[in-house]
Chain A
Amino acid sequence: MTHDLAMSALGEWAPYAMLILVGFLPTELWRMVGVVLAHGLDEESQVIMFARATATALLTGVVGKLVIFAPGALASVSVTVRVGATVLGLVAYLLARRSVLAGVVVATLAVMAGMALFGGR
């Protein structure tokens, strides 16, 4: 309710206010905390290891969600094709001796090939 009122008052600037509030600030916060903590914090500490593990899980979590519940133009290709393309990318990554570029390029080409073969918009 209050949210809707605020939105209409802000008008076309609402998306920009949202960008600052829920995009910029939640991200920049961690960078600033990092600046404050950087004075005397053990790089190998348990807290850092936990934060790193949490961030990694979130990162691959976003990937998993985007592959399974795909947005926009990707949604028109079946989930089997998207998962299959990811697996092909993994094979290419391993065959090319752990090359990030090989994995990304093969997965992307595979999803497009799958879309061309099995339909899409």
Chain B
Amino acid sequence: MAEGGRGDADPESVLDHPPSASSTPSGQSAFVTVPLPYGSGFLGGLRGGATSIYMVTVVGAYVSIGALGHDFGFPLAWTVLTSLLVWAAPAQVILISALGTGAAPLEVAVAVGLSSMRLLPMVVALLPLVRTPRTRARGVLVTAHFTAISMWIEVMRLLPRVPREARIGFANGLGTCLMGAAIAATVAGYHLAQTLPGLLVAGLLFFSPMSFLFSALRNARIAADWVALVAGLVLAPLLAWRGVDLDLMWTGIVGGTMAYAAQRLREAFR
């Protein structure tokens, strides 16, 4: 089991947890699945998304992104498309602010790509949970596109309680629900930035970085997470202040290496 269900996993779900992500398809009958209150499949996923606590942070972050798109002078349609196509709030914040200040396209692509790298391990951890021998590639690609921090945390927490054959539908339903809300929030934020006074717009702009920060804090589990969190927070502004090129790229590489080394040291001395 990956890190999705940690801390906030309810005691009930421990009983029906699969022994590992690679449990055999026939292993389904080996443990009792307690049904979720909102059912399984696509509709269950929609309901799971609508009642998720992450709905609040997703709406807040995307109202913030809509406001950001407006403040940097992008068209509404363009800003909304970033929510549909990129669907990763940090990558969108980088894309909008970097392109908006006239950064070189290659530099923007590298920064966006490095910030989105975290999606790779998320997809790798999620897919074994939804796959069955009959799963088609197309269904998995949709699930992969829906994979983003909020969707991933919720799906990893709830999927063990969904029957295996209904899991892709459930994951896609939850993704559809959160992305639909994000798109509506992007439109709302864009319009709010046109009409609200500067004070409230500043509040909107501050909301998304703060939700990234406190989510990262909440999800920190092992030494590597804590070192990476602090290193990123300190290194990026420091490198940018010193005028180092590709500051975000170096933040990721140096911070990630420090965190990895710290984790290995900790394990070696335990």
Contact = CB atoms under 8 A, between A and B. Distances in A.
B209 A71 contact: no
B144 A34 contact: yes
The number of chain A residues touching the other chain, given as a range, is 35 or more
Given A58-B232, A71-B97, A34 B256 contact: no
Contacts of B215: 100
Interface string A39-59: 001010010111111111111
Interface in A15-46: 15-16, 18-35, 37-38, 41, 43, 46
Q: Is the interface of A mostly helix, strand, loop or mixed?
A: helix
Contact of B210 (A52, A68, A104): A104
A34 B113 CA distance: 14
Nearest to B248: A61
B206 interface: yes
B252 A38 contact: no
A30 B228 contact: no
A60 B230 CA distance: 8
A23 B215 CA distance: 23
Given A41-B124, A59-B212, A100-B211, A68 B237 contact: yes
A86 B92 CA distance: 21
Given A27-B86, A53-B256, A38 B93 contact: no
Q: Is the interface of B mostly helix, strand, loop or mixed?
A: helix
A49 B123 contact: no
Contacts of A30: 113, 116-120, 123
Nearest to A106: B210
Contact of B206 (A29, A54, A108): A108
Nearest to A82: B206
A29 B202 CA distance: 33
Given A63-B209, A66-B93, A56 B127 contact: no
Interface in B79-129: 81-82, 85-88, 90-95, 97, 99-100, 105-106, 108-110, 112-125, 127-128
A112 B232 contact: no
Interface string A73-98: 11011000010011001100100001
B174 to A, nearest CB: 16
Given A57-B252, A60-B232, A63-B213, A34 B124 contact: yes
A112 B202 contact: yes
Contact of B205 (A15, A49, A71): A71
A5 to B, nearest CB: 14
B52 to A, nearest CB: 12
Interface of A: 3, 15-16, 18-35, 37-38, 41, 43, 46, 48-74, 76-77, 82, 85-86, 89-90, 93, 98, 100-101, 103-104, 107-109, 111-112, 115-116, 120-121
14 contacts: A22-B99, A48-B121, A56-B228, A57-B231, A60-B230, A60-B231, A62-B236, A63-B210, A66-B97, A69-B237, A73-B205, A89-B214, A104-B211, A115-B199
Interface of B: 2, 21, 53, 56-57, 60, 67-68, 71-72, 74-75, 78, 81-82, 85-88, 90-95, 97, 99-100, 105-106, 108-110, 112-125, 127-128, 131, 137, 140-141, 144-145, 147, 198-203, 205-207, 209-218, 220, 224-225, 227-237, 240-241, 247-248, 251-257, 259-260, 263
